[in-house]
Amino acid sequence: MEIGTLLKDMMQHIATSDFGEYFQQYTQLSKKHFKLADLDISPREFYLWKSKGLSPLADKNTVEEDKREWVRLDFTQYIWLMMVKTLRGFGYSFENIKQCKDSLFNQTELSVKANTGKDNTAVIDNLYQYFAKDTLPKELKGIMHAVIASPEFQTQVEGLFTKRRPMLEIIIFEAISHKNTEVGVGFFENGECQPFNWDMFLNIEQWQDSISKEDVISSTMRRPHIYISITKYIADFIVADEKTGGELSCVILSANEQELLRQFRSNEYKTITINYDKGMNTKIIKTEKEKRVKEAEIANYIQNIIFAPHSKTTFTRTNNGDLIINSVKTKKLNK
C-alpha cells in the first residue's frame, strides 16, 4: 500500500484544524531552536550520517557548514534525527534510512483553512504580530486589523498556508493535533516506511471501496517492521521542555492543558488527587506536608493524562484547598 493512501485520512483531519492553533505552532516549530547537543548527538556521528545522505539539512557546500555551531534544527528535523538514532540502535541500515528519509521529506500538499473572521481577535492579533511586528504607527494599526479581518485577506492567508510540506512534518502535526491517539511511523525491511495512526487502523472498517481495515492491517502492522512512536517523542520532548521553561511546549499544548500544568506547579493546593477512569484508580500526588509536586509526577501526568488514548480530563478546585483531576476514558478501541 502506498504511503499516500494512508496519508489521505490524516490530511482531512489536518485540513479542518483550527487555524489560530496551527499558525502559532507552525511559526514556532519551524524556527531553528535545536543544536546537536540537545539531541545528545556528537558532531562526529552527525557528519557520518550526513555523508550517508541522512541529514535533514539542505546542502549548502560551505566551509562553515562543517562546524558544529552552524548546525541548527527545527522541530521536524529534530524529530527526524531522533528517529535516525533509534533506527541505528536497531541496526537499520544506512541505505534503508536514506530511502525512508527521501519518502518522509517528500513534499505533499497541505491545505489549512483559515478562520480570521472579525470575532476571532486572537488569530487577528497573531497575524498582526507576525506581519507588522509592532512597527506600524498607532493611526495605522486599526486599518491593519481591519485588513486582516477582511475576507480578501483570509483568502490570501489560506493561499499562504496551503503549501507543499514534507510528509514527516504533516505526520508530526497530526500527532500534535490528536494527542489522545497514537501516531507514528513503521519502518520495513526493504526501506519502505508508512505513517501509522492506530485509531484509524483499528476503527475505520472501510478506507476506500477496494481497501478494508483488514487490508490496511495486513499491509502494515502484520508485516515485520520497526515502529517509532511520534506521539511518544512529542510527550518526552514536552517533559524535558517543561523543565527548562516550556518555550515550545506552550504552542504544542492546548490552553486547557497549559492551565492544568500551571495548576500542578502552583503551591496553592493542600492536596492534588488524580482519579483515573471514573475513580476506579485514584492517586494522590501531593499531600499537605509536601511543598510541591515532584518533577517525576509531572512527567507521569504529561505521559499518562495528556497523551492517554481516548480520554477527557477535567479538574475541580475544592473549598478545602484541594485540586481534583478526573481522567475519563471516552471510548474503547475496537479489537
Per-residue pLDDT of 199-239, as tens digits, reads 776 666 655 667 777 777 777 778 899 999 999 999 999 88
**Lowest-pLDDT choice from 151-165, 192-206, 236-250:** 151-165
The Cα 273–Cα 275 span in angstroms is: 7
- Average confidence score pLDDT of the chain: 77
The pLDDT of residue 28 is above 90 = no
Q: What are the residue boundaries of the structural domains of the chain, listed by start? A: 3-112+163-232, 121-161, 254-329
DSSP string for residues in 84-152: HHHHHHTT--HHHHHHHHHHHTSEEEE-------TT-HHHHHHHHHHHHTT-S-HHHHHHHHHHHHSHH
**Lowest-pLDDT choice from 51-55, 279-283, 287-291, 318-322:** 279-283
The predicted pLDDT at position 258 comes to: 83
Which cell goes with 80?
527526524
pLDDT category, 75, cuts 50, 70, 90?
Answer: very high
Global confidence as pTM: 0.73
The Cα 213–Cα 199 span in angstroms is: 11
Sign of the C-alpha dihedral, residues 298, 301, 304, 305? negative
Which cell goes with 326?
478526573
The predicted pLDDT at position 198 comes to: 78
